[in-house]
Structure 1
Amino acid sequence: MANPPQVETVTSGADKVKLAAAVLLLIGALAAYYGLAKQGALAQWGALIVLLAAGVAAFFTSEHGKAL
């Protein structure tokens, strides 16, 4: 019987930083959306979209994002 191949997951420090940055950007997007309520809808939605896009971009530069 053949042994199944072993899968080894290696997570670098830079990868962890990218994932943490993605999470912080997503949380920041929600905070900016609610924090900019007095500035108007354009500022709210603009900040939300920009920060969400930055969070998604940070995620897709990590190994988990590349694998997805």
Structure 2
Amino acid sequence: MRKCLRCHEEMVENLDVKVDMQGYGIRITTKGVFGTTVEKPKVAVCPKCGEVSLYIENFKSIK
């Protein structure tokens, strides 16, 4: 359960982000033009104030 940093309301999680008019989405990669994909980010939105938060679930893989 993620809480909004602004108003502390419970956020709606596990949403996706897409590039406008494209189905490709975005991804987190290592540095460089052809970087290895680390994780596909997920989105959480606060239903009270509209704050948007990007996060990855498997963050331990980047340590």
- Report TM bin, short chain: under 0.3
Please give the TM-score of this superposition, normalised by the length of structure 2: 0.21
Q: Return the index of the structure with the highest Cα Rg.
A: 1
Of structures 1 and 2, the one scoring higher in RCO (CA 8 A, sep 6+) is 1
Please give the TM-score of this superposition, normalised by the length of structure 1: 0.20
